[in-house]
Structure 1
Amino acid sequence: MGRHTVAASAKKPRRNLVMSVIGAVAVVGVVGSGVFLWVGGHFDPLLATADAGCTEPEQLVVVADRSIAPALADIADTFDRKSGECVTTEVTAQDSADTAAVLASGGVDADAWVPESSVWLDRMNATAASLGQTAPEVDARASIASTPVVFAAAATDATELASEPVSWSRVLGGALPTILPDPEASAASLAGLLALRGHSSAEDPRQFAGAMIALGKSIPASTSAAFSALGAGDTPSVVITTEAQVAAYNSEDPPEPLVAAYPADGTLALDYPFVRLAASGAEGDAEGEEPAADGEEATDDGAKTTTKAELLEAFEAAVRDAAKPLAKAGFRAADGTGLLDLPGVGTEGPAAEPAADAATQLEILRAWGVLTLRSRMLAVIDVSGSMEEPAENGLRRIDIFQQAALGAMQKFSGEVELGVWVFSTARNGELDYEDLSPIAPLADAAHTQQIAGVIQSLPARLGGATGLYDTALAAVKRVRETYDPEKVNSVLLITDGKNEDENGISLDALLAELKKIDDPTKPVPVIMIGFGPDTDLAAMQQIAQATKGAAYSASKPEDLSTVLVDALSQRSCRPNCG
């Protein structure tokens, strides 16, 4: 990018004519000391060239999402060199999440912003509101480009994956191993969640919640990290991303190129709006100054100079006219049209709806934040003699619980911390409970193996009556003793009966003690799950309410996995979940 001199136009240039110099559709003549451009049948005076006296070129600063910043930098370089304007255009690459946050908290020293999706404007406003700030004044123009959301796969896995159509439905059903970069930072991931929600069952909201829990089990730090994970496992997997990101990755000649797999059940597209930032001063002249003439301002010697607003509009027009550079970078036109000739992506774009429902996307993002909060949980399991009774399918209750518990463990990420108690009456001396595994991260393979061994040993531990109330109180106290403010601390208590400890505390005494030890700064909700016909649901609900937890009833023991999804997905609404 260099310094260039332009002549001031007598009229504010129309946007379809601003780049006429680039197109060389001009006749240049010299009159006196001025340089003139023949446009539309008349002469327009331009500022003198750099050699004729432009000593301080105007500077434009454009902040753009990292995905599109390289293409915009190339367009800016051409704009600076060939437009004849006395301007230096700087394109700064920054993640849209970071720009949105900085704008919300006070502003960015830039003239324009090109985020990877319009949803970032809503994120910006929501963040400003949460900070008690007024929403930033911006002028969001139409999109300059678009790119569809796709599944990226390692080229070596493409044939195997293509044996069955890739689709959002397969992701929802857990049949297509999928990696999701953090939707807090990726509009592609957030749009992917929107697509998943659109294809999930309206009758069973657990399906979408369960899919988010599964996707949140391992969240890569970035899209690049997600791409690096492809091809590394035994089972082919895909990354939710965009066509443009696949093209950009392949342009770096990686050891394992990627291919874009287009969802068979339709997809969404990200837009890239051109956003002018009012705080930059590019919206016009300073307050109180009288403009010289229709977009021009006068210098001390009476010469006319082009305003920053006019230069910014010229750059925006240049970007909108730059279909080839954008296509070379893997972007299609704002309406999704355009042909690409790049490795790993299709020539023609898929039919894609715009990911325009920003309100729903923000709602999904809040749910994602709740579901992926890292948990610190003490699982307390009933091993009273009644667990040996048969369920409807003929298996013992404890057998069905074992199957459900092992399946549930697979849903947790390694960052979840889990401990295990078992309980019945007089289980450990005079105590009704026994600590079999401390609360520790599941990322520790030895700890995970220990918990799996505990679950396998449960049938051999059966016996006694149900010592529910003493155990619930002790569990809450234990979790609070080692409370971690960075995690969701909770007790998950699973039982098939009601309190049968005649020597223990009563329900009223339990509720009074829970109220007495309640600490709003260290909440420990108790999630009660009862299964079978003998559970005391009314008592469970009172215990849950006293701790701002929740009580669930699984009429069949095999419903436990579904109930666990409910328990996890409603963390944001307790204690008033509908």
Structure 2
Amino acid sequence: MGRHTVAASAKKPGRKLILSIIGAIVVVGVVAGGVFLWVGDYLNPLFASAGTGCAEPEELVVVADTSIAPALTDIAEEFDQDSELCVSTEITAQDSADTAAVAASGGMDADVWVPDSSVWLDRMNATASSLGQSQPAVEARESIATSPVVFAGASTKATEIAAEPVSWARVLGGTLPTILPDPEASAASLAGLLTLRAHSAPEDPRQFAGAMVALSKSIPASTSAAFGAASAGQEPVVVVTTEAQVAAYNLDDPTESLVAAYPVDGTVSLDYPFVRMTATDAAAGSEPADSSESADPSDSADSESADASKAELLDAFEAAVRDSAKTFAAAGFRAPDGSGELDIAGLGAEAPEAQTALDGAAQLEILRSWSVLTLRSRMLAVIDVSGSMEEPAENGLRRIDIFQQAAVGAMQKFSGEVELGVWVFSTARNGELDYEELSPIAPLGDAAHSQQIAGVIQSLPARLGGATGLYDTTLAAVQRVRETYDPEKVNSVLLFTDGKNEDENGIDLETLLAELAKIDDPTKPVPVIMIGIGPEIDLDAMQRITQATKGAAYSATKPEDLGVVLVDALTQRSCRPNCG
């Protein structure tokens, strides 16, 4: 990431050079007005820059994604040394997500940006618009390299991973344990999600949403952390990444190397566009000229000359970059068209077939969905344990059995950062109250709390009895969540019932709706998500209650239906009450 200067330095010669000069026959000559040193039998242009105007080399500033910055650093060093131009090229490594944010805010101070995907340009423009800024004036040129998205696993577990063909279909089905680095920061993860959606059933969008729920359960801090987890785990697991990232990891001589597994159902490639940050954009943050002073024509001419000189340097550097296929291949990159052979441990020699033109708008749409999905939840689960929950459902299981199966599956998908509490309800369950608190709202990452909730779920059949005290319980649950509201999380009530309100001594529907309206606080929204099990539910009443709280009502008869509506409850949080 250093600065590489071909021109002679203005610093004094080092000790070794001085000693060599003393020990040599030194002849000083003046050639064409320039000063040269004869050292031994060759001409050294050490001091020539003073006479040729190269004492202050022109600087090029390149910001590159961390994955490709080392290769560009090598190219820049050679370019500065071999170029006939007086140039110093500085390569700065920075995650593309960070660069996109800086550029969007107008703070980008560079001549060139090389992100690891063109999607960051879309992200930059979208962020600029959201900040009320003009979109940065940049010139995105063709990519200089590509790297396909792959699954990476520990080399010691390669045989187990390869026991079945790796595929996006297996990720969708939950049969391929997968770690997904945060798509907010990883272009490989975002492109992987785009590919995953393409392989999901178009008639069932919940399949893709369910896969995202599972992948979001544990989000590593970085791709490096994901690699560490894959190597340290006892069970075989794969990480969504790129060939280039696997190559960089293995070339760093780790204790345990990685192997790239190529999806049998196809993959995509990240491109690395060469983006010129134009003079207009670079000058956006400069101080305006003083209009009281008349402009000097010579200043304008000097500026135009400087721009032309910088453009010439950029052309030369870009040409050098595009002529460095061997350097890129040595670092694990394929050619811009996706072709090329690699000779790096852990990677396949031949390039896989991969799509490179990825839909930027679709990726941003997925990213927005991911952002909503990973908003940490704080939920109070309220479970109907009235006697009718012993009744059989369509598949012959008892309604309480259906709930137990779905609840266990949901618990496995939730992140440890999700906070969950459990109530049960039926008439006169707790003295005169229809509800009973069995577990407080607390993080599932707390092992003792998670075990407590698992125990509650297993104990439900033994708790059955009474009628359905729906309305009093709903009001009390909303009040409890609002009393302990956490503004940093999505606070909600998740209520499961198999029937309509049967508490003749409690409040009626109209009173419930009036009370919900009275305590409504837009700054502390508590949506109620109601899930009805069986044919005896009062769906109309459920819909009126959930509309009053900007929630949603669902009906489920089979265990898989309950799992589906749980996915909806998590993934449609941003659109309520107008979800399509």
Q: TM-score, normalised by structure 1?
A: 0.89
2:268 aligns with 268
Deviation at 1:306, TM superposition (A): 6.7
Deviation at 1:267, TM superposition (A): 0.4
**Residue 545 of structure 2 is aligned with which of 543, 565, 569?**
543
Give the RMSD, CA atoms, in angstroms: 2.2
1:213 aligns with 213
Equivalent positions of 1:360-371 (< 5 A) are 360-371=362-373
1:227 aligns with 227
2:90 aligns with 90
Q: Counterparts of 1:232 and 1:201 in 2: how far apart (Å)?
A: 34
AA in 2 matched with 1:465: A
Q: Counterparts of 1:89 and 1:552 in 2: how far apart (Å)?
A: 60
**1:61 aligned counterpart, secondary structure:** strand
Equivalent positions of 1:20-419 (< 5 A) are 32=32, 49=49, 52-279=52-279, 291=301, 296=305, 307-419=309-421
Q: TM-score, normalised by structure 2?
A: 0.88
Q: Counterparts of 1:481 and 1:450 in 2: how far apart (Å)?
A: 23
Q: Which moved more, 1:385-394 or 1:523-532?
A: 385-394
Q: Counterparts of 1:201 and 1:31 in 2: how far apart (Å)?
A: 76
Deviation at 1:556, TM superposition (A): 3.1
Deviation at 1:279, TM superposition (A): 4.4
CA gap of 1:2–1:116, structure 2 versus 1, over 3 A, is closer
AA in 1 matched with 2:512: L
Check conservation: 1:191, 1:355, Cα contact below 8 A: no
Deviation at 1:234, TM superposition (A): 3.1
After superposition, give the CA deviation of every residue in 1:1-26 in whole Å (9 maximum; x if it has no partner): 454359xxxxxxxxxxxxxxxxxxxx
AA in 2 matched with 1:163: A
Q: Counterparts of 2:408 and 2:308 in 1: how far apart (Å)?
A: 69
**Residue 434 of structure 2 is aligned with which of 407, 432, 435?**
432
After superposition, give the CA deviation of every residue in 1:103-143 in whole Å (9 maximum; x if it has no partner): 11122111111000000000001111111111111111111
Q: Counterparts of 2:194 and 2:461 in 1: how far apart (Å)?
A: 43
After superposition, give the CA deviation of every residue in 1:157-194 in whole Å (9 maximum; x if it has no partner): 11121121111011111110000000000000000000
AA in 2 matched with 1:424: S
2:513 aligns with 511
Check conservation: 2:394, 2:557, Cα contact below 8 A: no
After superposition, give the CA deviation of every residue in 1:445-494 in whole Å (9 maximum; x if it has no partner): 10011001111111111111111011111101111111111111100000
**Residue 574 of structure 1 is aligned with which of 563, 573, 576?**
576
Q: Counterparts of 1:403 and 1:226 in 2: how far apart (Å)?
A: 30
Q: Counterparts of 1:292 and 1:436 in 2: how far apart (Å)?
A: 77
- Name whichever structure is richer in helix by fraction: 2
CA gap of 1:415–1:86, structure 2 versus 1, over 3 A, is same
Check conservation: 1:49, 1:84, Cα contact below 8 A: no
Q: Counterparts of 1:50 and 1:69 in 2: how far apart (Å)?
A: 32
CA gap of 1:2–1:257, structure 2 versus 1, over 3 A, is closer
Q: Counterparts of 2:57 and 2:231 in 1: how far apart (Å)?
A: 50
**1:76 aligned counterpart, secondary structure:** helix
Q: Counterparts of 2:73 and 2:506 in 1: how far apart (Å)?
A: 73
Check conservation: 1:386, 1:496, Cα contact below 8 A: yes
Q: Counterparts of 1:443 and 1:281 in 2: how far apart (Å)?
A: 46
Deviation at 1:58, TM superposition (A): 1.1
Deviation at 1:437, TM superposition (A): 0.2
Q: Counterparts of 1:551 and 1:3 in 2: how far apart (Å)?
A: 67
2:534 aligns with 532
Q: Counterparts of 1:257 and 1:572 in 2: how far apart (Å)?
A: 41
> Identical aligned pairs, as a percentage?
77
**2:413 aligned counterpart, secondary structure:** coil
Runs of 5+ unmatched residues, structure 1: 7-29, 36-47, 298-304
Deviation at 1:392, TM superposition (A): 2.7
AA in 2 matched with 1:417: E
AA in 1 matched with 2:571: S
Check conservation: 2:150, 2:260, Cα contact below 8 A: yes
**1:568 aligned counterpart, secondary structure:** helix
How many residues are paired up?
A: 534
Check conservation: 2:168, 2:265, Cα contact below 8 A: yes
Runs of 5+ unmatched residues, structure 2: 9-29, 36-47, 284-288, 290-294
CA gap of 1:281–1:372, structure 2 versus 1, over 3 A, is closer
Check conservation: 1:424, 1:432, Cα contact below 8 A: yes
Deviation at 1:328, TM superposition (A): 0.9
AA in 2 matched with 1:467: G
Deviation at 1:388, TM superposition (A): 1.1
